[in-house]
Each structure stands twice: as C-alpha cells, then as structure tokens.
Amino acid sequence: MKHIKYLTIMLITIFLSLSAFCLAEEAIKLPDSPMNGLTIFLEKRCIKCHSLQSDEKTFGPDLIRSLKNDDIFQIYGKLWSHSPQMFKYMEKKDISHPIFKRDEMKAVLDFLYFLNFFTEKGDVESGRAFFTNSICSKCHAIGRHGKRDGISLDKYKIYMSPIYLATSLWNHGLDMKFQLSARKYGWPELKGADLSSLSQFIVDFATEMDTRRVYSLSGSPVKGKMVFEDIGCLSCHKKNVYYDKRQKSALDIASDMWKGGPKMWTAMKSGGMKIPEFTADEFVDLVAYLYFINYPGREGDEDSGKEVFDNNCSRCHDNGPGPVLKEIRGRHDYLDLMTTMWNHSEDMLNVAKEKGVTWPRFLGHDMNDLLKFLVTKDNR
C-alpha cells in the first residue's frame, strides 16, 4: 500500500514537471457559458450530496448559500478544506473520487460561482402589492389591475424570466423619466425581488391571448464584456474594479441600473453618447459580466502565500514525500495546480493520515495567496 502511495506522489511530480506554463491572467478568464459546468456537476455525481435548490435538504452544505460572495479561489479553498468529510461520505455511499480534466475543473468552478445569478423567487401577492401601491398602476394596466386605459403590460405574460421585463424598463426608461417628471412623480424605487414578483404577477394575471412561453436566459460574461466596452461604459466606469463587495444577483444588478438610470442618461447626453437600447440577450450578457467582475478575486499576495505554504504545505513538499517547492513554483498556472491538487487530494489525505499531519484548511484569501506564490517564478 505504501508503494502505491509513493508511486502516486512520483506521478504528481512528473505531471507538474511536464505541465506547460501559461500566465495566470489567461487561466482565470471569464467564462462564455457558465451553465456548461452543470453537465460536469451532474456527471461527477456532485448532485448526490449537494442540492441546487436552497430549500432542499441534503448531506452536503447548501452551495447556493455557502458559496455566496466567494470568488473562484475562495470556492476552491472551501472544496479543498472540506474534502476529508466529502471523501468519508463518498466512501460510505460507494461514490468514487471524481477526477477532473483542466477544462472540467474550470467549468465546475464557473458554474458554482454562477449559482447565485438568479436567486429571487417571484411571489404573486408581493407583485400585486408592489404594482398596486406604486406609481406603476397610475400609468400601466395588467389584466384588470391598474389604470383601465393605461399602457398595458400584458404582452410580458409570455416571458417566464424577469430579465425581459428588466430589459424593457431600461429601454423605455428615458421616456418614462420625461413622463414622470411631467406628472411631477418621483423616480420609482425598484429592487431585484420586486422585479421578480412583478414579473410573476404579470404571468399570472395578464390577459394576453398569446400562449407562447419564453424562458430564462443565462447570459455570457464574455459577450457581456464586449457589450460593456462597445457602448462606452469604460468612459465613466473604471475597469477591473469590484462591482460591489458583496455578490449581487442578476436582478439586483438590473435594479441598480434602473436606480442609477436618470444620472447615467444625463451623463451620456452631456457627453454626446448615445443611450443604448438592448435586446434581452445583450442585457443579460451585460448583467452576467457585471456579476462576474468579482470572479477572479483580488490580486493574490506572494508574501502571504509563502506564509500559507510554510504553515500548511512545507512539511510534505519540502521535507517529505511530495514534490519539492523548486519543482512546482513558477512552472504552472492556477488551473494546473487546482486540478492536480484536487485529483490527488484523496492520496494526499491518506499520506497525511499515515504521517499524522493535520489536513490544511484555507480560509479567506489563503488559497488565492498560496497559488499566487506557487505560480510566481522564484528569481532568487
């Protein structure tokens, strides 16, 4: 058994030595289709322990809640830190340790980060109350609700995702601003949950005869970045700055755009910019990009990473059976290391148990700092 374990460690060393180096910035890039990772999530049987619905009880933690506000490195750090418990349960349920290819690891991490993109559940009664009690009902009609001869919103009945309603609100926002100002109405407040509930109220109570149903769009952060740059957002918004310290859902981001609309439209007009109108695809892509701005996390700190390595890894990797630091450092990118670490984590755990080594747990930005240290070439 010992020979098998140490042979595994030798293979890790060979893998790391042959792995091609590429820049970290190229490795942690925006995903084109975050939902692609769902297929891998199901194929690797992660669903056996982890539900994708917050109200469903499973053995594993609720990923939607437990990973909220985490960047890619914090997500991976949690997976690593909890792997002993995962392996124990998987062994009990006769589930084999999942092995990932590099692109599969990236796809799963993309998907896990994406879990909080659409989290608000529409509530019909909340939507009715919002519509009735807000100025919406003074100008608009939904079925038999609101102003009888007002502008009907019934045509939105076919849209099962509130992102379509959010798109239309933006596109008609400037005209609505003029109409509201003429009637001396203030700019209405609108939260992400309001959008979801209002959309559900329309679906349930609109009298539109069209029986088609148009479902949700997931959005592409890569295409959204192109939209962001093409319409000139960079002239006012700084690049590579966190959108917000906390992770906001797609509808919260859309409601922020609505809230700031009047200011943005004024600034655009004074700057000679054309106020953009979006298709639903373009709008959800833009929102997906804003959602993923925090995805790579903050820049890792090399010095802090060395401290994390010395405290957690050096016992096996500089003074033990694992690959030594000089065979790892500066030769591999983030995804190389994350994929290899995970694929051999069960063997590492067995060696750690045999040697009485405490399994390392990474909190906060520990994983980010550690990997920054490992991908940085040692020029000493």
Task: Indicate if the alpha-carbon torsion angle 328, 338, 334, 247 is positive or negative.
Answer: negative
Rg of the chain over CA atoms, in angstroms? 25
Report which of 114, 46, 5, 72 is spatially closest to residue 295, judged by C-alpha positions.
72
Task: Tell me the backbone φ, ψ of residue 214, rounded to 5 degrees.
Answer: -110, 125
23: pLDDT strictly greater than 60: no
Letter for the amino acid at 112?
L
Q: Could you read off the pLDDT of 88-123 as tens digits, one per residue?
A: 888 888 888 899 999 999 999 999 999 999 888 889
Q: Is 227 a domain residue?
A: no
For residue 198, is it within any domain? no
Per residue in 218-228, pLDDT tens? 899 999 999 99
Task: Count the Cβ atoms, other than its own, within 10 Å of residue 46.
Answer: 21
- Of 15-29, 96-110, 151-165, 307-321, the one with minimum mean pLDDT is 15-29
Closest among 157, 169, 170 to 214, alpha carbons compared: 157
Confirm whether 356 is domain-assigned. yes
Task: Give mean pLDDT, residues 283-289.
Answer: 95
Structure tokens at 37: 């990772």
In a domain, 325, yes or no: yes
Residue 215 sits at the vertex; the CA angle it makes with 209 and 219, to the nearest 5 degrees, is: 145
- Residue appearing with tokens 């060393």: 13
Whether residue 32 lies inside any domain: the answer is yes
Q: Is residue 26 part of a domain?
A: yes
- Retrieve residue 105's tokens: 């690891």
DSSP-derived secondary structure letter, 356: T
> What is d(CA 184, CA 135) in angstroms, rounded to the nearest whole number?
11
Query: Does the residue 178 lie in any domain?
Result: no
281 within domain boundaries: no
pLDDT top residue among 287 and 15: 287
Domain that holds residue 26: 2-116+297-375
Average pLDDT over residues 259-270: 92
Whole-model pTM: value is 0.88
**CA dist., res. 88 & res. 94, Å (int):** 10
Between the alpha carbon of residue 282 and those of residues 163, 209, 266, 359, the distances in Å are 11, 27, 22, 45
| Lowest mean pLDDT, pick from 17-21, 41-45, 128-132, 247-251 | 17-21
* Count of domains forming the chain: 1
Give me the mean pLDDT over the 42-69 stretch. 81
Q: How crowded is residue 182: how many other Cβ atoms within 10 Å of its Cβ?
A: 8
In the predicted model, is pLDDT for residue 11 greater than 70?
no
Using CB atoms within 10 Å of the CB of residue 341, give its burial: 0 to 12 exposed, 13 to 18 middle, 19+ buried: buried
Q: Residue 12 above 80 pLDDT?
A: no
What pLDDT is stored for residue 17 in this prediction?
Answer: 36
Instruction: Answer whether 258's CB lies under 8 Å from 176's CB.
Output: no
**How far is the CA of 345 from the CAs of 291, 303, 304, in angstroms?**
31, 25, 23
Q: What is the pLDDT of residues 131-162, one digit of tens each?
A: 999 999 999 999 999 998 889 999 999 999 99
pLDDT of residue 54: 58
Return the percentage of the chain with pLDDT > 90, whole number: 61
The distance from CA 220 to its chain's CA centroid, rounded to whole angstroms, is 11
Q: For residue 52, which of 39, 64, 40, 68 has the smallest C-alpha distance? A: 64
pLDDT at 16: 39
Contact 301, 375 (CB under 8 A): no
